[in-house]
Each structure stands twice: as C-alpha cells, then as structure tokens.
Structure 1
C-alpha cells in the first residue's frame, strides 16, 4: 500500500510473494534461458531463493551492503564481498542476477560491471521486484516502477529491530 504522500510503500507477505511470482513469470515468458542465479544479500535472498526453486537452478550468493546509517535507511559506501558463494563450482555461463530493488542503481550497476569483467560469465541479465524513479540503472526484468521513489517497508523488516529478549517475551505465557 502506497501512502497518500507517495513517500512510503508498505508491502505485506502476500504482496511480496505475489511480486516474486510475477517476476518469475516475466523471466519465463521472455524465453531467456540461464544456468545459474546469483542473488545479492540481503535484499535479493528471498526472491533469489524462490526463483532458484521455481527454475530449478543453482543459487549463488554475493553479499553487498550500503544501507547502514540511521537504522539502515541512509545509503553509505558500497561494500561488495570479494567471494561469491556457490553450491559447487564457480559462477559460469548465463547468469540471472537477482535483487529486491533498484534503488539508486549504484549497487546493481557496480555488481553488473564486476560480473561482466568475469570471462566465465557468457551472458548476464538482472531482475528485481521494484525499480525506483531515481534509479540510474534499469534491470532487464522488473515487476513495478515506483516513480515517486518511496521508502519500501518490506514484511521482514520487523526482524531488523527484534532482538532475542523481545522474541522470548512473545513466547512466554
């Protein structure tokens, strides 16, 4: 649900899953075949996992981080992991890069540039759930464009502030 001022988008679990499934259908209907999926942690973990299951393709993970200030709402310096985790072998062939969104586009562009410099990758396409209006990068596949570039409140964000002691209180009778 987008707020009246266009500055916040609140997404339920049901909506999140529906968007991920729509992304899978879009990739499928494109006819593009790929060998592996690489998701960006943390935002791309959930959609990457679902797409990996739907397409029955191996899932690799690359950790990136840029949101860390002001409770994770201000973008800072981009950090990219030196290594990519794969279940076996290395990242090769046709690769689908998955993240949750193209916010400013800085992270996706930097990762795409890095991956394109890897000779073992023969073809690379990117997929996200949302593209914000301020993004300087447009993925190959995306479900929604958000012209007002709202802050997206994803359903799992409750865990960002939930700590073990508060969780314990939930389950005490």
Structure 2
C-alpha cells in the first residue's frame, strides 16, 4: 500500500478547512468529542476555533499487521467512559482523523447516541474520507480518490524505524 506523508503545515491547513466547513454550515456544538488518538489534533483545533469544550473518547479497531504497523482493522474497542469536565449533552461534534472503512465512525455514532441520551444533535467531522468508506461524515477536508495509507505528522515515529530497514 502506498503511503501519503503529511507534514504539520499541510495538516494545519486541512484542519482549517474542516473548521471553515463547520462554521459555514452554522452548526454550533456544545462539545467537540475527539476520538483518541488520531482525532485529537483536529478536535483540539475545532474546540479552540468554535470556542467550546473538548471531550475525549478512546476507540481503536486497528491491530498489528504482519509488519507490526497497526494497519489491520479488527474489532472495535471503545472506552467505558468519555473524559470531560462537565456533562456531555446538547449538540456534539464527533471528530476523528479519517473515515477509512467508515465502520469505526458508524459504530461510534451509535455508541455515543446509546450511552449519552442528553445529546440531541450529533454531527461528525474528519480530515480525510477514503473512497470505500461506508460512513459519510458531515464535514471533511479531503475526499480521497485512492487508498493510500496516511502518515500524519505525529505518526512519523511509528514508521521511521520500519521504513529505514
């Protein structure tokens, strides 16, 4: 699988694009709910730009593949609680880095709606959407036409030792 390396300058431009799309839409969340780990940079940017608090939910469906790169999607695991200061309610923007297969975001939407009934409006935002995603987020910076593995600037350490071998 080909890799797309994204540097911090490019990443911040993409975050700004998502922020602009949310602002243009007029959706004013009471909370930004970031999915740890990949969604945290976007969630932080949105939380600051939209002037609303950020909450965090941990979720993972990727395990080590044959090369140990964490590139094999498996069973979704979700944290038992959301980390936030306050009560998660009202309008929530659920944020992750990308919609790859889309199954993680789709499952998280159902999970959040089932476990947090005080949420009355839930929208989703990502930086990238892959072409085969079954889930279409409300906001995205880039709808990809190929299936490259995205190496985000904060993930470079994950690939440096493997790529140099």
Same fold (TM over 0.5): yes
Give how far 1:7 is off.
3.2
Could you list the runs of 5+ residues in structure 2 that have no partner in the other structure? none
Distance 2:55 2:73 in 1: 24
Q: Larger Rg: 1 or 2?
A: 1
Distance 2:112 2:74 in 1: 22
Distance 1:157 1:34 in 2: 28
Distance 1:159 1:61 in 2: 23
Give how far 1:139 is off.
0.2
Give 3-state SS (helix, strand or coil) of 1:152's partner: strand
Give 3-state SS (helix, strand or coil) of 1:111's partner: helix
Distance 1:113 1:16 in 2: 28
Could you list the runs of 5+ residues in structure 1 that have no partner in the other structure? 1-5, 164-173
Q: Alpha carbons of 1:112 and 1:46: their partners in 2 closer, same or farther (altered >3 Å)?
A: same
Q: CA RMSD for the aligned pairs?
A: 1.6
- Select the residue among 109, 112, 115 that pairs with 1:112: 109
Please give the residue correspondences for 1:119-138 in structure 2 after superposition, counting only pairs within 5 Å.
Answer: 119-138=117-136
Q: List structure 1 runs of 4+ shifted beyond 6 angstroms.
A: none
Paired position in structure 1 for 2:29: 34
Matched pairs, number: 157
Q: Does 1:98 align with 2:95?
A: yes
Query: TM-score of the superposition, structure 2-length normalised?
Result: 0.90
